Structure formats: C-alpha cells, structure tokens
Amino acid sequence: MGDRSEIYIRNANTTIELWRHWDSDPQFMIPFFEKFASFAINTYPTQQHRLTYPEDVAALMIVFDYLEDEKTLEKLRKQWKASKNDPEFIPHPDVRPRGNIEDFERIWILDIPNDNENGVWKVSYYDLGDLDFLPPEDEREDLKSLYKGKVQMTVEEFRKAIHECKPLPIKPEIFQFICF
C-alpha cells in the first residue's frame, strides 16, 4: 500500500498536477523538496528563469525522481548482486502526471515565483487524513446529514480552488526553500 499524494506546481498563471504513490509524508517529502531545489539550481545555473515555469519545474521533478530511484536501485543491485536487467531493479519515476488518478491522502503545493527576481519556493502541505469531501451535487441531498462539519466542497471544487490560488478550507503546514 502506498502513501499517495497529489503535487501541484503553480505560479499565478499556471498549475501543473503531479501524483506520487510512495512516501508522501513530510519526513520523506521535505528532504525530497530540499534535494530537488538543489538539483534544479544545479541543472539551470545560468537559466534560472526556467525555474519560474510550472511546466519546466514539473518535468524536472519527474527527471529528478527517476534519477533518485536509479541511485537507490544501483545500491540495492550491488547489495543483492543483481543484474541490471532484473525487472525488480529497473528504475521508474514515482512522481508522474496525475491524469485521472483519484487516490490521494496528502496534497503538496509548490508555489514558484512568476519571475526570477524572487527565488523563493513555498511548499504548502495538507494532510487530508480522514477528511471527507462532499459527494457530487446529484448525490448530495440523500447524504447531507453525514457531511455536517466536513469539508464543504467536492474534490473537484477543492482542485479548482488550488488552480485558482484560492484559500482552502483546511490549514496547511508551510515550508520555504530559497531556490535561486
């Protein structure tokens, strides 16, 4: 069983949705974001404006995750004396485009600047835990009493609020990384 999360990379104009299957709680993700920020700076030392485009940052995050997986698997291959062709040791990125995946317990939002004057990346973390979202409008009336005191929006409304940079109905933990 994975510890799934959605990752949103956004600036004021664009939001890109990614999804992660494994190790999405803060003890893994904070070091992940720290290492990723360092990787991003080293990848674009003279073109830091690329780190203000959500599309480029999302693509770079997938590459970074693949390379990190490759390093881990290389250590395991040596430890287990396994072949590079062994299917158990073929790297794959765990971070990928979300598409239609609806399975998540946590949300991470990486807010990046619109220009390269402010090189601070702000990461907001939302642990959804046992939160229940409202069902779609057509199913709501029958279940209304069950949702008293719950998050008063559907998953779709929640995602729309993220895309529009609107406040969410739960408080985040916030982390900041100086990127460039």
Cα separations (Å) of 53 from 11, 93, 124, 155, 170? 8, 21, 18, 26, 27
pLDDT in tens, 18-38: 999 999 989 999 999 999 999
Single pTM value for the model: 0.85
Question: Are 109 and 10 within 8 A, CB to CB?
Answer: yes
Answer whether residue 144 shows pLDDT above 90: no
Q: Region 110-132: what's the mean pLDDT?
A: 82
Say what the pLDDT of residue 20 is: 95
How far is it, in rounded angstroms, from Cα 179 to Cα 122?
A: 10
How far is it, in rounded angstroms, from Cα 137 to Cα 125?
A: 27
Best-predicted range by mean pLDDT (25-29, 59-63, 70-74):
59-63
pLDDT in tens, 42-51: 999 999 889 9
Rg (CA), the chain: 18
Of residues 139 and 171, the one with the higher pLDDT is 171
Q: Hey, is 87 helix, strand or coil?
A: helix
Say what the pLDDT of residue 38 is: 93
> Which neighbouring-strand residues pair with 121?
177
Q: Which residue pairs, CB below 8 angstroms and at least 24 apart, start in 19-28?
A: 19/95, 19/96, 19/97, 19/98, 19/99, 19/101, 19/104, 20/94, 20/95, 20/96, 21/94, 22/94, 23/94, 24/105, 24/106, 24/108, 25/106, 25/127, 26/125, 26/173
Say what the pLDDT of residue 150 is: 56
Question: Are 115 and 52 within 8 A, CB to CB?
Answer: yes
How far is it, in rounded angstroms, from Cα 157 to Cα 78?
A: 47
Say what the pLDDT of residue 130 is: 60
Answer whether residue 64 shows pLDDT above 60: yes
> Considering only 4-8, 48-52, 117-121, 145-149, which range has the smallest mean pLDDT?
145-149
Where does the chain have alpha helices with state H? 26-43, 54-80, 137-143, 155-163
In the chain, where the domains are located: 5-131+171-178
Cα separations (Å) of 64 from 14, 32, 84, 96? 21, 10, 20, 11
Q: Hey, is 174 helix, strand or coil?
A: strand
Residue 121 parent element (H or E): strand 120-127
